[in-house]
Amino acid sequence: MAIFHLSVKTVSRSAGRSATAAAAYRAGVEITDERTGEVHDYRRRGGVDSAQLFFPANAPEWASDRNELWNAAEKSETRKNSTVAREFEVALPAELTTSERQELAHEFTKALVRKYGFAADCAIHFPHKKENQSKRKDAAVENGDSRNHHAHILCSTRKLTAEGFTVKTRELDDRKTGADQVVECRALFAEMTNAALAKAGHSARVDHRSLVAQGIDDRDAGIHLGPIATAIERRGEASEKTRNHQERQAEAAGKVAALVAIAQAQVKAAEQAVAAAKAQAQAQAEQQAAALAAAQARELAISAQLTAFREIENDRVRDEALASIHRHVAAAGRSSAATGRALGFAQSDHAIIGKNLAAAGGHLGRAIESARGRQHHRNAGAIAQALGRRLERFIPALAALPRQLEHHLVELVAKARRAQARRRLDENKEDKAVLDLSGDLAAAKAERDRPPVWAAGIDPRSYYHPGKVAARQAAQPTPAPQVKRAAAAGVADLRTPFQRSRQEAAQQAAHPHQEDQDNPGQAERMSAAELRAEIARLRPPPLREVVERQPELVTARQSSDTLAEQWRQAQAMAAEAGRELENWRSAHPVRAKAHDSGLMRAAVLVETEQRRQEAEAQRQRLAPRVEAATEHLKRTRSSVEERVKLEQAQALAKVAELERIERQRQDQEQADRAKAQELDEVLSAFKGHALKRETKSLGYGDTGQQWNAIPEPLRKVIEDFNRLPQEARPVVLERMRENMQRDPQGVETFRQGLQSARGNDRGMSR
């Protein structure tokens, strides 16, 4: 099985180490440290498969020499406690061939060089035990591991450029980012290892994460023995670390066995509790069935009594039969309610039967007393017959029985009141227009026929004088069609609200300008600003917003969302149970196999599979309901949208009409402003010529060219204007403006005459 290992270590002078010694040992070569003069010779060291240097493309030529490279790395660090190198130690899969492992190590080294820009020395080592390695035949080698293929990647702590070693690789040195960088490197090497295994056709895979992060809890993590413990293990002895690890494993196995025994005991107790609960539920079901049979027998007896009651003709015997039926109904109600309470079902069929029977008995009793008080035995018989017909269908329609009886009694009371009112009207047809609250009909008629007497002392000029009030009432206009429609709506309308809204909206859409006809000229008298305000007031909210707020759509959407959420929860529960089954089977393959073969049932699998099946069944049951609710929501939205469109048709038509008028009004107001500006310019030019003539400015003397260029009629107007006193001139100008507004052609003539003087100015005036 392929294993994952990647560790990062540093080579520091404070620990008495050097980059030259580390490089010589890992590559199995001789390197002389130029800084200290020490010679590091490891050429006789065995176990080195290959060693190769990697550096950026712009590195100097001396970087290809291992001796010069690592001496330069040593010289670039000046402090006595400097970190002079960093080592990445990685495990190479034993499943790969020598060339495949070498390719994997070299590709990972190249990725590190591209990422950080340093120089790297990749040395691949053989395992400590190698079948073809026969130089050493001691016990340590014989007891080694033939699968421990690994690589040492020694890296410089500075970036290597054309100028040599430059800045530090701070991203690896920094305490905040260094750990994250190592995690990224571990993930990269795991990905490259898996790619190499897949390329070579192996199914084994590695993962850089911890067992906890992977969710694996059925095995312990391996322990790092270190060089001393490893040497002891290779001699065939057990190190202290190994013994401690074995003790911890034995203790954990004991705890697991105890937990399994406890779980099995709990499962057995739960099974016994379930069996007892099933037996109790079966006993209660039998009691409930017996009680229901007794209730049905009582109801059949009542039904038989009612059948016999319908054949009785004698009134006295009928009253006694009604009283007997009443007693039986009340007794049946009390018995059923008591049975339900005794069985412990507050909302069971027995409690509901008792409640409804008691209510039915009360209604019947009140009906009998009412019939006796009024001596209307036929009405009482009709009530009893109606009750009998309903009691014959008691079992399927019991829940609706009190409501039906109450509705029936209300109808009877209403019919009786209407019959009494008709009798009174028939007896007093000639006086039906008199409202008599005192009982003296003659006095009421006299009060009705008395002519009105106006209160004395009211000033005839007063607003409240009866004559003026009558005159105002007579002068009131005929109610508008929409008022008539509102009054007519007070009459009982048997159409459904939706039919009413659709028909009224269709009528409004057919006559979108009805209000304009009722109030002619009202919109025409508004300004553009007033029209905009009216449009904002009349414009209905957006169709989508109104539709989504409708109660029926809200109810349909809530129902659809609730069912969809229940379906999603059932699906999630089924998926979760499936994942639990898969994870448990992966974690306990032996127990899962024993469970599948029937040797030993696993309660966890049984319970989880049951939960999965129940959730899946619930999901399948909800699927058609979700689909039906979704379709119902679509139909409801379409129906509501059609209705809202019809309801908004009149308002939108009115808004469109007002927008058309508002655009016309804007154009008109713009034209009026342009016309007013033109009049201001003409009158301003007129005042300018008048002032120049009055002050005899250059060119405006009697012989001036500008003055003589003005037409004679216009000169006469200017002279007349100048002869006016100062306080009268604004009034004259205002009158001139009014005349010009009525005569646009005159404005053009007036302007041309004034411009003739400007054409002869020749630059003398500005």
CATH code of the domain containing 73: 3.30.930.30
pLDDT of 539 over the 80 cut: yes
AA letter at 142: E
pLDDT grade, residue 272 (50/70/90)? confident
pLDDT of 452 over the 80 cut: no
Which H, E and C letters describe 269-294, residue by residue? HHHHHHHHHHHHHHHHHHHHHHHHHH
The answer to the question of residue 376 being in a domain is no
Angle between helices 226-234 and 240-310 (to 10 degrees): 100
d(C-alpha 117, C-alpha 166), whole Å: 10
pLDDT grade, residue 331 (50/70/90)? confident
Do 190 and 96 sit in the same domain of this protein? yes
The answer to the question of residue 659 being in a domain is yes
Do 197 and 303 sit in the same domain of this protein? no
Domain that includes residue 737, residue range:
672-756
pLDDT in tens, 203-228: 999 998 888 888 776 666 666 666 67
The answer to the question of residue 252 being in a domain is yes
Give the containing element (helix H, strand E) for 155.
strand 150-156
Residue 467's contacts (CB-CB under 8 Å, 6 or more residues apart) are 460
Q: Which of 666, 699, 726 is the last residue of a domain?
A: 666
Do 279 and 314 sit in the same domain of this protein? yes
Give the containing element (helix H, strand E) for 41.
strand 39-41
Do 732 and 650 sit in the same domain of this protein? no
Do 51 and 168 sit in the same domain of this protein? yes
pLDDT of 494 over the 50 cut: no
pLDDT of 492 over the 50 cut: no
The answer to the question of residue 706 being in a domain is yes
Do 89 and 191 sit in the same domain of this protein? yes
* pLDDT for position 473: 62
Half-sphere exposure of 507 (CA within 13 A, CB side): 10
Residue-wise burial string across 336-349, b where 16 or more C-beta atoms lie within 10 A, e elsewhere: bbebbeebebeebb
Do 201 and 247 sit in the same domain of this protein? no
Q: Which of 204, 222, 240 is the last residue of a domain?
A: 222
pLDDT of 127 over the 90 cut: no
If one counts the domains in the chain, the total is 4
Do 662 and 697 sit in the same domain of this protein? no
Residue 707's contacts (CB-CB under 8 Å, 6 or more residues apart) are 693, 699, 700, 701, 715, 757
pLDDT in tens, 672-722: 888 888 888 888 988 888 999 889 888 888 888 888 888 888 888 898 988
* pLDDT for position 82: 92
Query: Any idea which of 137-141, 240-244, 331-335 has the lowest mean pLDDT?
Result: 137-141
pLDDT of 27 over the 90 cut: yes
CATH code assigned at 610:
1.10.287
Q: Which of 195, 222, 249 is the last residue of a domain?
A: 222
Nearest Cα to 301, choosing from 318, 324, 334, 319?
Answer: 324
pLDDT in tens, 353-396: 555 555 555 555 555 555 444 444 444 455 545 555 544 444 44
d(C-alpha 522, C-alpha 455), whole Å: 40
The answer to the question of residue 503 being in a domain is no
The answer to the question of residue 567 being in a domain is yes
The answer to the question of residue 542 being in a domain is yes
The answer to the question of residue 332 being in a domain is no
Do 308 and 163 sit in the same domain of this protein? no
* pLDDT for position 765: 45
What is the rounded average pLDDT of the residues 651-656?
89
Cα pseudo-dihedral 300, 305, 311, 314, rounded to 10 = -170
In this prediction the pTM is 0.36
Do 309 and 195 sit in the same domain of this protein? no
pLDDT in tens, 563-615: 999 999 999 999 999 999 999 999 988 888 888 888 778 888 999 999 999 99
* β strands within 42-82, DSSP E: 48-54
Query: Any idea which of 92-96, 279-283, 482-486 has the lowest mean pLDDT?
Result: 482-486
Do 110 and 42 sit in the same domain of this protein? yes
Q: Which two tokens stand for residue 363?
A: 């209604």
Do 16 and 100 sit in the same domain of this protein? yes
pLDDT grade, residue 147 (50/70/90)? confident
Identify the DSSP state of 220. P
